[in-house]
Amino acid sequence: MTGAPPAVLVHRDAEVLAAAAAARLVTALADAQAARGSASLVLTGGRNGIAVLAALAAAPARHAVHWGRVDLWWGDERFLPEGDPDRNATQAREALLDGLPLDPARVRPMPASDGPHGADVAAAAKAYAAELAAAPGAFDVLLLGLGPDTHVASLFPGLPGVREEERWVVPVTGSPKPPPTRISLTLPAIRSAREVWLLAAGPDKAEAAATALSGADPATAPAAGARGTERTLWLVDETAASALPRA
């Protein structure tokens, strides 16, 4: 498989994991800005992804990042009306984004179900792909949560999105995790990122982490296919690491 082989970092618990990932994010974004002038970050939904944003909101070191020169994208979105509390973008805004001096033109949430494409999730996914295609440069850091069934973003085992080889963004229907209709980046898009960080905390993630890290087929274990070109980092807590072979 192409991409950087995964490195696993185990933290004491979910709280330490979120704080450590937030600190790591400050460094990664500041480094990217020092090297290239701007930084590009892909956000994810779920408890762990949002906990990292909340930890960042509480970290004084966040001021080391020039937030006006950060491009924000989303790895997946629940296809719901704008402002819905279950939208990943709504949760990210509340946890962190509303308190940062971001450039609104650089914040690109995935379309909502009452947006310009209405309820047409395929058109919404296509529009997001076009937006991505028009943006220069690779993602610096792409965050993912890990589902207990090894899903990442909205790529679920057995659904067609995980097998997509051409498109970077797909509509998802029939998601086993509610809501059923979603938009997701695909594995080719995820694999274009310099760094991919997978976040997992809790005993319900132990088996999924062990499966994905044992070289499983991404079609049945999507997380196994999530790798960055330069770095793949699994940031897990002790309970999520409990089924991994000891290093």
Ligand X SMILES: O=C(O)[C@H](O)[C@@H](O)[C@H](O)[C@H](O)COP(=O)(O)O
Nearest approach, Cβ of 194 to ligand X (angstroms)? 20
- H/E stretch holding 237: strand 231-237
The secondary structure of residue 160, as a DSSP letter, is: G
Q: Report how many residues bind ligand X under the rule CB under 6 A.
A: 16
Of 24-32, 45-53, 114-122, 237-245, the window that binds ligand X (rule: CB under 6 A) is 45-53
Core vs surface per residue 188-200: b (16+ CB within 10 A) or e: ebbbbbbbbbbbb
Task: Give which of 25, 59, 244, 58 is closest to 143, Cα–Cα.
Answer: 25
Nearest approach, Cβ of 238 to ligand X (angstroms)? 16
Q: How many CA atoms lie within 13 A of 175 on its CB side?
A: 23
Contacts with ligand X, 160-189, as mask; x by CB under 6 A:
-----------------x------------
The yes or no reply on residue 48 touching ligand X (CB under 6 A) is: yes
38 vs 181, beta carbon nearer ligand X: 181
78 vs 194, beta carbon nearer ligand X: 78
The residue from 109, 145, 157, 161 that contacts ligand X (CB under 6 A) is 145
The yes or no reply on residue 33 touching ligand X (CB under 6 A) is: no
**Using CA atoms, how far apart are residues 167 and 80, in angstroms rounded to an integer?**
22
* Tally of residues, the chain: 247
Nearest approach, Cβ of 59 to ligand X (angstroms)? 19
The residue from 53, 56, 80, 153 that contacts ligand X (CB under 6 A) is 153
Nearest approach, Cβ of 182 to ligand X (angstroms)? 7
Question: Beta strand 76-78 with 182-185: parallel, antiparallel or unpaired?
Answer: antiparallel
**Using CA atoms, how far apart are residues 16 and 205, in angstroms rounded to an integer?**
17
The residue from 3, 19, 22, 46 that contacts ligand X (CB under 6 A) is 46
Residue 234 region, left (φ>0) first, then alpha (ψ -120 to 50), else beta? beta
The yes or no reply on residue 45 touching ligand X (CB under 6 A) is: yes
Q: Footprint of ligand X on residues 72-91 (CB under 6 A)?
A: 76, 78, 88
Structure tokens at 101: 């001096």
The yes or no reply on residue 225 touching ligand X (CB under 6 A) is: no
Task: Give which of 134, 157, 155 is closest to 144, Cα–Cα.
Answer: 155
Interface positions with ligand X (CB under 6 A) = 44-49, 76, 78, 88, 145-147, 151-153, 177
